[in-house]
Amino acid sequence: MRKTSKNILRKFLIWKYKHVSERQFVYILSILVGFLAGMGTVLLKNLVHYIQLLFELDFFNNYQNSLYFIFPIIGLLLVYLIKQIWLKKHIGHGISTTLHAISKLNGIIPRYNIYAALITAPLTVGFGGSVGLQGPAVSVGSALGSNAARLFHMNTKTRMLLIGCAAAGAMASMFKAPIAAIIFAIEIFSLDIAFVSLVPLLLASVSAVVTSYLFLGTDVLLRFELTDTFEVNDIPFYAILGLVTALASVYFSKVFFAITNFFKQFESRAIRLLIGGLAIGTMLYFIPPLYGEGYGIMNNLLKGDHIAAIGKTPFNFDLSNIWVVIALLLGIGIFKAIAMTTTFGAGGVGGVFIPTLVMGSILGNAFAKIINNIGFGFQVSESNFTLIGMTGLMAGVLHAPLTAIFLIAEITGGYELFVPLMIVSATSFAITKYYISHSIYTLKLAERGELITHNKDQNVLMVLDIDKVIETNFIILKPDMKLGDILKTAVAKSSRNHFPVVNDQHEFLGVIRLDDIRHMMFDTNLYNKVNASSLMHADAGIIDYNKDSMHVIMDKFKSSGAWNLPVIKEGKYYGYISKSKLLTAYRQQLINFT
């Protein structure tokens, strides 16, 4: 059967090479990838829907608050068992994992990523984990795009483009927002805006949206139509909202990194599950709105029903007092970031995109309520501020201001709000960027020098494979070797003009160049008197295989002026990199990249 499949594929590829141009086939693949990404997103949403539908039975409703404590722990335990017993592989955050695959793995994403998130994310979210589905949807779609490209033997550049198409497809299918989806792929994945790449993105985005409409109908995640127009007099309030969302974005990011680092200190996944499961269960028991993704909160706030948004709690708060309502909303927003990151720390699988929207909607709505009730006679649209609060948090937390603007405008038909959307997005992004240099998606990648950006030069250096430029065919000398032995066993047998000196532990001590011994090569009286330790000297610089990125390596060549630099791997001598070979590899990669 497998052999038959390979023969069919081989015959198809031969036919394709003869009858279909490369560009046309990329267009066909982009439509296919968009459809598959759309199907993956639809499946994720439906699985979560049916799990949550099960918990709406009368039996569960009678014990709802108590079960809010139990359900998340059950969901996280199921995810833990699936990871440990069946998958036995790490499942990273969808967008971060995809960015790493683009920068360091030539766009190759393992096949198990196609179904891993499809199984674990619905269990996490459906059982109450306070995370979103956008990240897993991108993970599933990107894995489909990568493996479709590999199946049809597409090159690295096309494979990366199809990953971008899949990400756009997942976004388009999730929110029914094809324009914002394209901007998302360009902004988050740093794809080049060119005709060659734009058309496949368009085709994938449209294909995914059509797929979503076919299977989910006209139902949308945020059910809202703009009724209140933009008022010029409200511009100062929007500017202040931009500042507030920036501070909230910094808080969101700091909480994420702090809690993530807290859980990293526990090597045992079982201990993480125990601590995180109990913590998230306790939070959901006292703050039920934190359950799941949080679309109910956003939709109720957009409808003006803050009572439904807050929901039932174990406490008897006076919800007729607007200041109590504002305090509760702000409390939910503050704990959303904590609950989300705790879910991740406990081993849950999900995304940060939708929790960011939830926190932004709460913040914008509470801010508008404060303005309307502070007693100065001001009156602003709470629904508009709810929408624009989402934009501020997206722009700040995700470092994606354009995606934030177009997503909110497109899914709500709120194009009349472009001016406040731009004000809040730009303000939030600029301030957050000052304090948090990289987003949640990209910080770890940036620290390792693996972050793809719109800088082509940096990207080319990043995707260069250090192993392909390291040369190891150098004759190694020992420090006690005499000059005669050096000439006989090294100089006479090597075409190289420099020789590394290492000790018995293979640690790099220095280098001897041909020029260092040229003046004494024919003085036989020195053959048994001079040894390598007296001839060697330090090199102009040393490259650390495990720590130095290609960008750092290039800087070391520039600052040292050397043409060859030694490479150390785990404290041991490993080989040499020559500037000429590095530049040749860079030039070839630049041709491939562009």
Q: Is 170:37 a contact under the CB 8 Å cutoff?
A: yes
Higher-scoring residue by pLDDT: 451, 473: 473
Residues 275 and 201 grouped into a single domain: no
Q: Which residues contact 231 (CB under 8 A, 6 or more apart)?
A: 380, 381
Which CATH number does the domain housing residue 463 bear?
A: 3.10.580.10
Residues 448 and 464 grouped into a single domain: no
The residue out of 434, 454, 474 marking a domain boundary is 454
368 pLDDT more than 70 = yes
Residue 480 lies in a domain: yes
pLDDT band at 459 (very low <50, low <70, confident <90, very high): low
| pLDDT tens-digit map of 47-56 | 888 887 776 6
Residues 236 and 265 grouped into a single domain: yes
Q: Which residues contact 585 (CB under 8 A, 6 or more apart)?
A: 464, 468, 469
SS (H, E, C) 209-224: HHHHHHHHCCCCCCCC
Residues forming beta bridges with residue 543, ordered by sequence position: 567
What is the CB neighbour count within 10 angstroms for residue 402?
16
Percent of the chain with pLDDT over 70: 85
**How many Å apart are CA 346 and CA 78, to the nearest integer?**
12
Confidence at residue 469, expressed as pLDDT on a 0 to 100 scale: 81
| pLDDT tens-digit map of 159-195 | 888 888 888 888 888 888 888 888 888 887 766 555 5
Residues forming beta bridges with residue 513, ordered by sequence position: 498
Confidence at residue 366, expressed as pLDDT on a 0 to 100 scale: 92
Average pLDDT over residues 458-466: 65
**How many Å apart are CA 172 and CA 252, to the nearest integer?**
25
The rounded mean pLDDT for the chain is: 81
pLDDT band at 364 (very low <50, low <70, confident <90, very high): very high
Residues 540 and 552 grouped into a single domain: yes
Average pLDDT over residues 190-206: 75
Confidence at residue 311, expressed as pLDDT on a 0 to 100 scale: 75
Residues 316 and 359 grouped into a single domain: yes
The residue out of 408, 428, 454 marking a domain boundary is 454
Domain that holds residue 398: 232-454
Residues 211 and 270 grouped into a single domain: no
Residues 197 and 333 grouped into a single domain: no
**How many Å apart are CA 417 and CA 394, to the nearest integer?**
16
**How many Å apart are CA 403 and CA 185, to the nearest integer?**
9
pLDDT band at 17 (very low <50, low <70, confident <90, very high): confident
The residue written with tokens 């995180």 in the block is 276
| pLDDT tens-digit map of 216-256 | 766 666 666 666 777 788 889 999 999 999 999 999 999 98
The residue out of 424, 454, 484 marking a domain boundary is 454
**Residue 522 φ/ψ, nearest 5 degrees:** -105, 10
pLDDT band at 200 (very low <50, low <70, confident <90, very high): confident
pLDDT band at 109 (very low <50, low <70, confident <90, very high): confident
Instruction: Select from 135, 157, 263, 202 the least CA-distant residue to 591.
Output: 157
Which CATH number does the domain housing residue 110 bear?
A: 1.10.3080.10
Average pLDDT over residues 479-495: 80
Which residue blocks in 321-417 are alpha helix, DSSP H? Answer: 322-345, 353-373, 382-397, 401-412
Domain count, the chain: 3
Secondary structure (3-state) at 74: helix
pLDDT band at 389 (very low <50, low <70, confident <90, very high): very high
Residues 439 and 307 grouped into a single domain: yes
Q: Which helix (H) or strand (E) holds 509?
A: strand 508-513
1 pLDDT more than 60 = no
Q: Is 344:331 a contact under the CB 8 Å cutoff?
A: no
Q: Is 509:479 a contact under the CB 8 Å cutoff?
A: yes
What tokens were used for 124?
């996490």
Residues 383 and 484 grouped into a single domain: no
For the chain, how far is it from start to end, CA to CA, in angstroms? 40
Directed axis angle between helix 112-126 and helix 64-81, to 10°?
Answer: 160
Parallel, antiparallel or unpaired: strands 572-578 and 470-471: antiparallel
12 pLDDT more than 80 = no
Residues 303 and 350 grouped into a single domain: yes
Q: Is 167:197 a contact under the CB 8 Å cutoff?
A: no
Residue 178 lies in a domain: yes
Average pLDDT over residues 24-29: 84
378 pLDDT more than 80 = yes
| pLDDT tens-digit map of 570-582 | 888 888 888 878 7
Report which residue type is found at 71.
Answer: F
Average pLDDT over residues 96-111: 74
Residues 405 and 467 grouped into a single domain: no
Parallel, antiparallel or unpaired: strands 470-471 and 498-502: unpaired
Size of the chain in residues? 594
Confidence at residue 497, expressed as pLDDT on a 0 to 100 scale: 78
Residue 226 lies in a domain: no
Distances (CA, A) of 252 to 247, 281, 354, 394: 9, 20, 13, 11
448 pLDDT more than 70 = no
Confidence at residue 362, expressed as pLDDT on a 0 to 100 scale: 92
**How many Å apart are CA 445 and CA 99, to the nearest integer?**
8
